[in-house]
Amino acid sequence: MLDPGDNLELPQIPSKRYFTIGEVSELCAVKPHVLRYWEQEFPQLKPVKRRGNRRYYQRHDVLLIRQIRQLLYLDGFTISGARNQLMVDNPEMASTAETIRSLITDLEEVLTILDRP
């Protein structure tokens, strides 16, 4: 699907709130199994998971994936090097993303409690 030396223009990101892993795969020219692997390697990449553990990526996730792709495939960084480069570029990103995810989890728990009869 992706030749590392290939510098094709990636498609424009549609104005949607959430994207499935298949859509992100096409938007970023990266196979779904690679996206799942990157979730383990890059702490900043944490898509929202809903019923059945289905992943839903937001626009900022797609942009981050494109940045990771650029670092790995075009700039020649290793996984570790790309991880470090992302921390240098956006040191507050990891803590902010973790805080937001924690808030989302808390709010979903509150909704579950409120939905009970």
- pLDDT tens digits, 8-29: 588 899 999 999 999 999 999 9
pLDDT band at 37 (very low <50, low <70, confident <90, very high): very high
What local confidence, expressed as pLDDT, does residue 3 receive?
A: 46
20 contacts 52 by C-beta, under 8 angstroms: no
The pTM (predicted TM-score) of the whole model is: 0.69
CATH pick for 21-115 out of 2.60.40.10, 3.40.50.720, 3.40.50.1820, 1.10.1660.10: 1.10.1660.10
Question: Which amino acid would we find at residue 115?
Answer: D
Question: Which amino acid would we find at residue 50?
Answer: R
Contacts of 97 (CB under 8 A, 6+ apart): 43, 44, 46
Measuring CA to CA, which residue among 12, 73, 23 is closest to residue 47?
A: 23
Chain segment 43-95, per-residue pLDDT in tens: 889 999 988 889 999 999 999 999 999 999 999 999 999 988 888 777 665 56
Distance CA 26, CA 32 (A): 9
Residue ranges of domains in the chain: 21-115
